[in-house]
Amino acid sequence: MLTSYFEGPIGADVVAKLHAEVARVLADPPLHAGMMSAFLPSNNGRAYAWREDLSFQRTSPRSIDLAAWIAWSRPGYPRVRPYCPDGYVGTWIQREPAADPAPRWTFGRDGAFSAPGSPYANRISWRVHRQGTKGNALWLDDDFGVAAKRLVVVRLTATELHLQPTSPAMFRLERA
């Protein structure tokens, strides 16, 4: 779980520490109950790989979900991976709104983002938040990582990506 959802390398000491912490939580009913209530998706973790893939729509954690929650929410663990599904990864050319030259949006597998010449040129990373039946939202972070710009994913195919920001203009991108 740690190697899938957190950045490595992951040492044996980190694995042992997490295993001990999960065992301690599971053995202490009041602490476990507190962790269960803190696990709710509304308490954040959204748009990170462990939450969107491993624990999507869970409100009551399994042991593995609890381990991911602890590693994400406590200091001393590796940095969490953003949720960056393969369908978005690559370079896209902005077709709408039209611009000359057309901005190129690049989504890296590791969450790196660039889109020089677009309204999001100052954003440096990306991740996806799955919203159940409402679809997905693309989150673009600046270098402070404080306030993500959120774009609703209206359409994603192998060749097109349509994104709707809060302002009226929709972005239509084509795979380069």
65 domain residue, yes or no: yes
Mean pLDDT of 68-86: 93
Percent of the chain with pLDDT over 90: 71
For residues 66 and 101, membership in a common domain is answered with: no
pTM of the full structure: 0.86
> Both tokens of residue 103?
């901005």
**Weakest-pLDDT range from 35-44, 97-106, 108-117, 126-135:** 35-44
Mean pLDDT of 65-81: 92
84 domain residue, yes or no: no
For residues 117 and 69, membership in a common domain is answered with: no
Kindly report whether the peptide bond that precedes residue 101 is cis, defined as omega within 30 degrees of 0. yes
Return the pLDDT at 135. Answer: 85
Tell me whether strands 104-107 and 90-96 are parallel, antiparallel or unpaired. antiparallel
Return the pLDDT at 77. Answer: 95
55 vs 46, 51, 58, 132, 150, CA distance in Å? 10, 5, 6, 12, 21
Q: What is the mean pLDDT of the chain?
A: 91
